[in-house]
Amino acid sequence: MNRIKPDRQLKAVMDFLAQLRKHIGLSFGAEKRYLVESRLSPLAQKAGFTNVHDLLIQLNTSVVGELHWQCFETMTTQETQFFRDGFFFETLRKEILPALIQKRQGEKKLKIWSAAVSTGQEAYSLAIFLEEQFPELKSWKIQILATDVSDKALQVAQRGEYEIQDLERGLSPLQITRFFTKGPVDFQIAPWLREAIQFQKINLISAWPAESSWDLILMRNVLIYFDQSTKNKVLEKVSPALADDVGTLVLGSSETLIDFPKLVRRSAARGFFYQRQSVEA
Ligand SMILES: C[S@@+](CC[C@H](N)C(=O)[O-])C[C@H]1O[C@@H](n2cnc3c(N)ncnc32)[C@H](O)[C@@H]1O
């Protein structure tokens, strides 16, 4: 039984939401109280608390440590799939990559960052896409950096092991045969594809790698969980991190940037490709 008074329960939830926003950027209001309670209840039980509010009170009154991060991670949404959003790949194929390839003919290098990669499908889809659609890039140096704040998601991404249902959400039978091998339990991404990608933990609201001049930064379906001020702080860092000629930021298909003049829409088709203000479209 939960002996904590209802107003203290609400306070515990609200204090936790403030921590969540501060440390990882996720911004939920009181109406998402049920989400906190339902997502964290199993963790509370596992960690030996009698109920989720006891866990929250412990989190709210202690120095941020491993249990906090486990709870923050549990609050993330990791929904993803191979080749998510056909229009994105179509625009990459027809418009974005041809322009990039033309610009980089001299150095034959491309730098791509999948900045909220979740369990890896986004980065592997990109690698498969380049292999299938742009064979001329075989002799190029292609850097694909895949990052996320969630250790758990990154572990899955790095192992590159998926159930057949995950593969069938987005990949054709031919792609499954070509790019995966059947393991004892799951399917495993071909080692050469896994090795083509570097995985790293990066919290978008903390310090970033010093590296810049990204030709493509994918930040799809993550900024939607941030409030406007957090979003703007992240975008302030994206802008100088893009290559200044054709560097492109990609958001999710339902996301648009408002009130951020340093980045402007790039593709006439739909609003989720952006480049720096100074670059001519
Ligand atoms: C819905 S998934 C998007 C996955 C992929 N980009 C896609 O569009 O299919 C959102 C991801 O953002 C990550 N995320 C949430 N907050 C983050 C932060 N502050 N820094 C980095 N990644 C974050 C989550 O861990 C989760 O894996």
Q: Residue 280: its pLDDT value, please?
A: 52
Ligand 1 centroid–CA 225 distance in Å is 9
Q: Counting every residue, how long is the chain?
A: 281
Number of domains within the chain: 2
Question: Could you tell me if the CB of 248 is within 6 A of ligand 1?
Answer: no
pTM, two decimal places: 0.94
Tens of pLDDT, residue by residue over 178-188, are 999 998 889 99
Nearest CA to ligand 1 atom 9: 80
Decide: 158 and 195 in contact? Cβ < 8 Å.
no
Tens of pLDDT, residue by residue over 139-154, are 999 999 999 999 999 9
Q: Are 40 and 104 contained in the same domain?
A: no
Ligand 1 centroid–CA 153 distance in Å is 9
Q: Are 56 and 176 contained in the same domain?
A: no
Question: Could you tell me if the CB of 74 is within 6 A of ligand 1?
Answer: no
Tens of pLDDT, residue by residue over 33-45, are 999 999 999 999 9
Q: Percentage of the chain surpassing pLDDT 70? A: 96
Where residue 189 falls among pLDDT bands split at 50, 70, 90? Answer: very high
* Residue 281, domain member (yes or no): no
Question: Could you tell me if the CB of 204 is within 6 A of ligand 1?
Answer: yes
Question: Could you tell me if the CB of 207 is within 6 A of ligand 1?
Answer: no
* Short-list 111, 21, 121, 145, CA closest to 72: 21
Q: Rounded CA gap, 105 and 79, in Å? A: 36
Pairing relationship of beta strands 248-250 and 263-265 according to DSSP bridges? unpaired
Q: Rounded CA gap, 217 and 240, in Å? A: 12
Q: What is the mean pLDDT of the chain?
A: 93
**Domain encompassing residue 144:** 86-276
Q: Rounded CA gap, 77 and 224, in Å? A: 11
Question: Could you tell me if the CB of 263 is within 6 A of ligand 1?
Answer: no
Q: Residue 281: its pLDDT value, please?
A: 47
Nearest CA to ligand 1 atom 13: 116
Please give the backbone phi and psi of residue 118, each rounded to the nearest 5 degrees, phi first: 55, -130
Q: Are 141 and 269 contained in the same domain?
A: yes
Burial (0-12, 13-18, 19+ Cβ within 10 Å), 140: middle
Q: Residue 268: its pLDDT value, please?
A: 60
- Res. 209: pLDDT tops 80: no
Q: Are 70 and 99 contained in the same domain?
A: no
User: ∠ CA(192), CA(145), CA(93), 5° rounding?
Assistant: 80
Given 35, 50, 74, which residue is the final one in a domain? 74
Q: Rounded CA gap, 225 and 248, in Å? A: 21
